[in-house]
Structure 1
Amino acid sequence: MAYQVIKMYGDFEPWWFLDDWQEDITAIKEFQVYEDALAYYQEEWQSLQEQFPKVNSKSNLMSAFWRTDDQRWCEECGENLQQYHSLLMLGNWQELPEDLQDLDFEHRNAEGIHPSCSIKQHNTLS
């Protein structure tokens, strides 16, 4: 199995997997060994936590970091959309199975803002 550690920047937290979620990818690093991917994820997670005051991080190794003043205006839906710096780890581009998830990364000091942008459609990984 190949493991991807992915950085994203966009309107939604990474676990939503909207139809165009891959358009928000800013960086991908791929690993063949789970422990190497996890170590890299941990380094990136720590760096993002130091940069951004708000965090919502899940045991499935998907995390969102943000500042409340980092928003963009959406013309299509007529509202400000919170912008998230996201980090996620996938296996073969799929959510990791439960036995590879890590409770040490489950951390939350805020809830993200979930706007009802009418142009985005919810999807799941396939």
Structure 2
Amino acid sequence: MYEVIYMKADYEPWWAFEGWEDHILERVSFEKEEDARLYLDNRLTEFRRKFPKEESREDKFWAFWSVKEQCYCESCEDDLQIFHGIIWKTIE
């Protein structure tokens, strides 16, 4: 089984900090790898059109962002970047 996960947080998806799953906005599962890859490719294309910045890791994590999208952190008294993360996950 395969999953494509979309999360939105003030850190990139490869960090997977405790509670990262609370930031999931969409989780789509597939039985066939080719269906999952097609969905992943479509989502990546969509995000590349929407966000000017992109970084990826290990061919399974993608982060997209715009410097205009930030949130204020009261505890650190600073603006934090918001990241839109895509995660490719294989479930055995």
Task: Give the TM-score of the pair, scaled to structure 1.
Answer: 0.69
Aligned counterpart, 1:37? 36
User: Could you give the per-residue CA deviations for residues 14-73 of structure 1, whole angstroms, max 9, x where no partner exists?
Assistant: 000100110110001001111211110000000000000000023422101100011100
**SS in structure 1 of the partner of residue 3 of structure 2:** strand
Distance in 1 (alpha carbons) for counterparts of 2:2 and 2:52: 28
Number of aligned pairs? 92
Find the aligned partners of 2:51 and 2:67 in 1 and give their Cα distance: 10
Matched, 1:52 2:51: yes
- Residue 80 of structure 2 aligns with which residue? 81
- Provide the alpha-carbon RMSD of the alignment: 1.4
Q: In the aligned structure 2, how far is the partner of 1:77 from the partner of 1:37?
A: 39
Between 1 and 2, higher relative CO (CA 8 Å, sep ≥ 6) is seen in 2
More strand by share: 2
Q: TM-score, normalised by structure 2?
A: 0.92
Measure the CA separation in 2 of the matches of 1:59 and 1:10: 19
Give the secondary structure class of the aligned counterpart of 2:37. helix
In structure 1, runs of 5+ residues without a counterpart are 94-126
Gaps of 5+ in 2: none
Query: What does residue 21 of structure 1 align with?
Result: 20
